Each structure stands twice: as structure tokens, then as C-alpha cells.
């Protein structure tokens, strides 16, 4: 009788111990752990075994009991569902939370932002600074932009992708190639272009290339979205009247194309005098192609300009947000120029002299377009 009681007591104790162990295991698997890796990406290479993954996470302090998690993935069958990738594990996180992330998979997403009005040279310089892309020089990136097969149906005359590298914020996987990144930008342009042209009828007689060129001019000239249809109207009015556009951003582009731009924000007399089809102070009509990457509002303005008789605009000196005043005759335009010059003189009152065009004039304060 005593022996039976011992057996029964032992059995009960084993059950209690087993139940307690199960409760402990359950609690440990669900217990969040604070760790110091939450801001770091943890790489799980392809071909890593569950043991290797768990050992790495235990070493880094993301999990507490590696043996327990090894046991769990074997019993649950999770070992076949763990994925390679680049992971960020929040802190705190439970072991079960770690397993869920590993089963779902995660890749490190690098963010790439292209700014409205950037040229292909600006974009190439940015791509070179992204280690994952492994580009050796801006020239290597620029060579990718010379492949125009992706826009041939829109612009059969294009010599490069200037104007078609859509300004936006992109995410790409760590193993993305430079070509895939460029293709993504062009694909985004095509998407936005398609949406705009589906709902807006463009001005007659202009090719898509010419419309994108106009949009690029608007993008570089108008900082305020509400002014872009007005700037578009000035461009179209001057084209109709065969008046040179006189837009400084084209002068700057011509200097960049020639490798002569000083990149200090000033337009020099040598820039104004440069012989180039992009120099709209010397050449009538549109430049031969886009000069920058236009965003959605600039593209919309190119296709839907305001109906005005304006042929000039000048920066409004009392505002610092890039606003302009618009004019339909040269007399009013010249008064606007004088007001701007007076503001410049007051601004430079403490300087020994105000720069002249031959010395270099701040591009942000020049009247544009010119008479």
C-alpha cells in the first residue's frame, strides 16, 4: 500500500512538474525581451540553418534561451519556414515574435529620394553614393541613362532619360541593380504621365517630348504649385509670339552640358554668352529636350496652362517663398525689375559692391524671362 502511494505521489509530482515546465516554456516563449539591436539590421544569409540563425540571435541578445527556441522550431515544424533576409527586430520582442518575423521574411529597404528639378547629373551623383549599387563613378550611372528603349514609344528622339527619371521616394531591395533602380524611376514616370494624359488634353501641336520639356522648364522656374500654370502660360505665350524664352535654368543646363557650370548659384556673362541649343537667351523656341525631372504638378501645368496674356515674370522681392509677379507688357515688367533691383541693393547695403552680370549674378534674383 505504501509502495502504491509512493508511485502515485511520484506520478502526481511528475504531472505537476510537466505542467509547470509547460507553463514555464509557454511563458518564456511569449515573454518580451529588451535588447540593444532594435535600430540595427541583422542579416540572415541564404542557406543559414535554424541552429545558426538562433545562435546568432542569442549572441546578439535578441533572444534569451536559444536551446528553448531550437526545441520549439523542431517540434512546431517552423524550421522549414524560416527565411533569409535583412531584419530589424523591435525591442522588446518575444521569441515567438522573432519566429513570426523570420517566417514572414523581411528585406532591408533602402530609401532613395529624387528631388523635383534634379538633372540626370544630380541623380547620377546620388546613385554613386549608395553602397549597395556598387557604382564606381557618376559616368557609370550616366551611361545607364543613355538607354532610352523604355521611353521610345513616348519619345523616339530621346538621346538619354533626362526628364523621364521621375522625382519621388523609392524603396529597393539590397540586391537591386542600378539598372533596376533606373527602370523603376522610368516606370513611375510612365504611370504618372499616363494618369495625367488620360484626364487632360494637352495644347495642340506639341509632341510628348516637347510637353515634358515645357514641364521641366516649369519645374525649374516655379517653386509654388499655384504659380506653375501661370509660368506655363508665359512659356506658351512667348513661343506663340516667337519671343526667346530667356529662362536662366536653360542657361545653367547648357553650362552643365558643356562642363562649365561653376555650381555656386551664380549665372555669369560667360554662361549667358554660351552658344548652345539649350541657351534660350540666344536661341528661339524650346530647348532640344527636357532639362530636369518634372514632378506631377509641373507636368499638369504643361498640359493645362492658365489662359493669360502674360509674357514676363519677376521674383516678388517682399516674399522669400519664390513667388513671382507676372506682366503682360515690358513697361510693367521693367518696373518689377527695378523693384527687385532696389531690394537687392538694400540687401547688399553692407557689401562693398553689388555683383554685376560679368562678376556673376545670383540666379535666384535674376528677372526671368528676359525681354
CATH number at residue 87: 3.30.1490.480
Task: Note the pTM of the prediction, 2 decimals.
Answer: 0.75
Q: Is residue 194 part of a domain?
A: no
Residue 25 has a pLDDT of 81
Task: Look at residue 165 and tell me whether its pLDDT is greater than 90.
Answer: yes
Domain that holds residue 59: 32-108
Query: What does DSSP say about strands 169-172 and 110-113: parallel, antiparallel, or unpaired?
Result: antiparallel
* Cell numbers representing residue 73 in the block: 522550431
- Whole-number pLDDT of residue 214: 98
CA 37 to chain centre: 28
Answer yes or no: is pLDDT of 105 > 90.
Answer: no
Question: How far apart, in whole angstroms, are the C-alpha atoms of residue 250 and residue 285?
Answer: 12
Q: How many domains does the chain have?
A: 1
Distance, CA of 216 to CA of 301 (rounded, Å): 10
Quick check: is 44 in a domain? Answer: yes
pLDDT score, position 80: 87
**119-134: pLDDT as tens digits:** 999 999 999 988 889 8
Domain contains 285: no
Residue 273's pLDDT is 92
Which of the 8 DSSP states describes residue 109?
P
Quick one: average pLDDT of 327-345? Answer: 90
- Give dist(CA 125, CA 115) in Å, integer: 13
Does residue 199 fall inside a structural domain? no
- Residues in Cβ contact with 302 at an 8 Å cutoff, skipping those fewer than 6 apart: 202, 211, 212, 214, 215, 218, 232, 294
CA distance 262 to 275: 17
Residue 82 lies in a domain: yes
Amino acid at each position: 500500500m505504501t509502495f502504491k502511494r509512493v508511485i502515485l505521489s511520484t506520478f502526481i509530482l511528475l504531472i505537476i512538474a510537466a505542467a509547470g515546465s509547460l507553463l514555464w516554456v509557454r511563458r518564456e516563449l511569449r515573454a518580451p525581451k529588451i535588447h540593444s539591436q532594435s535600430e540595427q539590421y541583422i542579416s540572415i544569409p541564404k542557406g543559414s540553418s535554424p541552429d545558426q540563425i538562433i545562435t546568432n540571435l542569442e549572441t546578439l541578445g535578441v533572444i534569451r534561451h536559444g536551446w528553448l527556441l531550437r526545441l520549439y522550431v523542431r517540434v512546431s515544424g517552423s524550421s522549414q519556414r524560416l527565411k533569409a533576409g535583412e531584419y530589424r527586430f523591435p525591442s522588446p520582442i518575444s521569441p515567438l515574435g522573432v519566429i513570426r518575423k523570420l517566417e514572414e521574411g523581411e528585406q532591408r529597404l533602402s530609401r532613395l529620394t529624387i528631388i523635383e528639378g534634379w538633372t540626370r547629373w544630380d541623380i547620377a551623383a546620388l546613385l554613386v553614393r549608395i553602397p549597395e549599387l556598387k557604382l564606381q563613378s557618376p559616368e557609370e550611372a550616366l551611361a545607364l541613362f543613355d538607354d532610352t528603349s523604355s521611353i521610345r514609344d513616348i519619345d523616339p528622339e530621346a538621346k538619354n532619360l533626362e526628364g523621364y527619371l521621375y522625382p519621388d521616394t523609392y524603396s529597393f531591395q539590397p540586391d537591386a541593380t542600378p539598372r533596376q533602380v533606373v527602370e523603376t524611376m522610368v516606370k513611375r514616370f510612365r504611370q504618372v504621365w499616363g494618369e495625367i494624359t488620360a484626364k487632360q488634353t494637352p495644347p495642340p501641336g506639341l509632341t510628348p517630348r516637347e510637353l515634358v520639356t515645357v514641364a521641366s522648364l516649369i519645374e525649374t522656374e516655379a517653386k509654388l504649385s499655384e504659380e506653375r500654370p501661370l509660368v506655363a502660360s508665359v512659356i506658351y505665350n512667348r513661343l506663340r509670339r516667337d519671343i526667346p524664352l530667356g529662362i536662366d535654368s536653360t542657361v545653367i543646363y547648357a553650362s552643365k552640358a558643356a562642363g562649365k557650370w561653376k555650381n555656386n548659384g551664380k549665372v555669369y556673362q560667360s554662361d549667358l554668352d554660351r552658344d548652345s541649343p539649350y541657351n534660350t537667351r540666344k536661341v528661339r523656341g524650346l530647348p532640344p529636350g527636357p532639362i530636369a525631372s518634372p514632378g506631377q504638378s509641373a507636368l499638369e501645368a504643361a498640359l493645362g496652362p492658365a489662359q493669360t496674356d502674360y509674357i514676363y515674370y519677376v521674383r516678388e522681392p517682399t516674399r522669400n517663398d519664390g513667388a513671382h509677379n507676372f506682366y503682360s507688357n515690358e513697361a510693367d515688367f521693367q518696373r518689377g525689375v527695378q523693384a527687385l533691383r532696389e531690394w537687392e541693393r538694400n540687401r547688399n547695403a553692407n557689401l562693398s559692391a553689388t555683383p554685376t552680370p560679368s562678376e556673376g549674378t545670383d540666379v535666384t534674383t535674376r528677372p526671368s524671362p528676359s525681354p
